[in-house]
Amino acid sequence: MGWKTWTLALAGFVAVCLLADLFFTRIIILRNPSSNTVRILHLYQENGDEIPIFGTSKARWNYIPSELGLNVFNYGIDGGSFEIADMQLGIELAKPKTTPVIIELQYTDTRGLGDVGQYLPLDYDPRIRQLLARFHELTWRSYVPGIRYFGYYDWYLKDYLTARFQSGTRVDHGYPYSVPPVPFDRARLQSFEQIRLHSTNGYFPDEDQNRRLIAHITTHPQRLFFLVFSPYHSSCFVHFENVDKLKAYEERLSALPNVVLLDWSRLDYPDEFFFDTLHLQHDGAVDFSRKLGDQIHQILRERNGHAAGAAAESK
């Protein structure tokens, strides 16, 4: 083959890569409202009075926006960890907003990234690149259009087709769910319960992560942070270690003036409210979300009342 043939072949390959990247980014990925990429992109674009919810899959599964009765958006990421919430907080707290922030806390961080493919369309952002680098997922391919999606094209297409043609899929302010909900499966829960009973459970802190969370809070005194432990199945507390360390950390957080700590990890919920030992079934998520929404409403009313009273006294 001559140099002209090689040049044409290379040009054709580059054109295919560019067109594939453009097509899958604009048509397949960004038109799927249930994709995590679209949910993260919403975080960039939103600059109103929306209250964000950050956290791992426990946030993703347990917090139903429409049941909270608040203007919230669920940014919880399946398979995620504090590192993703830390990145999301960096985006949110750079905005000139004063609305509250809800953060789902974990006893032990998963140290996971989740699906790498969800971040690739946004890797132009240094914060996304830093996140990928932290998990050793940033390679030369990340900078090459089309090629950066190798290994993920089929997943993008599958997610798009599922969201578009599966009539039972809904999205409620970032919260994807099935209609009708997945039924309770006692055998599934019992299998997870046995694993939990024979594993180590407890509070195992990452002091660097704790430091970064507290830094976010203390450097943004205009934002009120609701730090929440959502319900765990009772089997998680049979062999629970480091209760004293957990209590000390909760006292440290509660002492911050712009923090409301709600440890509802031990809510007395029946087995039927749990999908597994960490995540709630739909009925459980509905009940928890309503309770949390009522509590947040009450706290905001009290704080606003105190603020109004203080302003009146100062006149």
Write the pLDDT tens digit of every residue in 96-117: 999 999 999 999 988 888 889 8
Q: Under a CB-based contact definition with an 8 Å cutoff, are residues 60 and 74 in contact?
A: yes
The total number of structural domains that make up the chain: 1
pLDDT of residue 168 exceeding 80, the answer is no
Which one has a higher pLDDT value, 168 or 80? 80
pLDDT of residue 307 exceeding 70, the answer is no
Number of H helices and E strands in the chain, helices first, is 11, 9
Q: What is the mean pLDDT of residues 269-290?
A: 96
Expressed as residue numbers, the domain containing 23 is 3-314
Distance from C-alpha of 261 to C-alpha of 254, rounded to nearest angstrom? 6
pLDDT of residue 233 exceeding 70, the answer is yes
What pLDDT score was predicted for residue 211? 96
pLDDT band at 180 (very low <50, low <70, confident <90, very high): confident
Reduced to 3 states (helix: H, G, I; strand: E, B; else coil), residue 12 is: helix
**How many other C-beta atoms lie within 10 A of the C-beta of residue 205?**
15
Please name which of 272, 268, 281, 225 lies closest in space to residue 64, comparing C-alpha atoms. Answer: 281
What pLDDT score was predicted for residue 163? 76
Among the ranges 31-45, 158-172, 178-192, 206-220, which has the highest mean pLDDT value? Answer: 206-220
pTM for this one? Answer: 0.92
For the chain, what's the residue count?
315
What pLDDT score was predicted for residue 310? 56
Chain position carrying tokens 């997922």 = 137
Distance from C-alpha of 98 to C-alpha of 212, rounded to nearest angstrom? 20
pLDDT of residue 197 exceeding 60, the answer is yes
pLDDT of residue 51 exceeding 90, the answer is yes
pLDDT band at 257 (very low <50, low <70, confident <90, very high): very high
Query: Mean pLDDT of all residues in the chain?
Result: 90
pLDDT of residue 235 exceeding 80, the answer is yes
pLDDT of residue 221 exceeding 90, the answer is yes
What's the farthest any 2 CA atoms get from each other in the chain? 87
Q: What is the mean pLDDT of residues 66-94?
A: 94
Query: How far is the CA of 237 from the CAs of 198, 241, 260, 262, in angstroms?
Result: 12, 9, 23, 18
Among the ranges 27-31, 43-47, 259-263, which has the highest mean pLDDT value? Answer: 259-263
Query: How far is the CA of 30 from the CAs of 60, 74, 167, in angstroms?
Result: 19, 17, 19
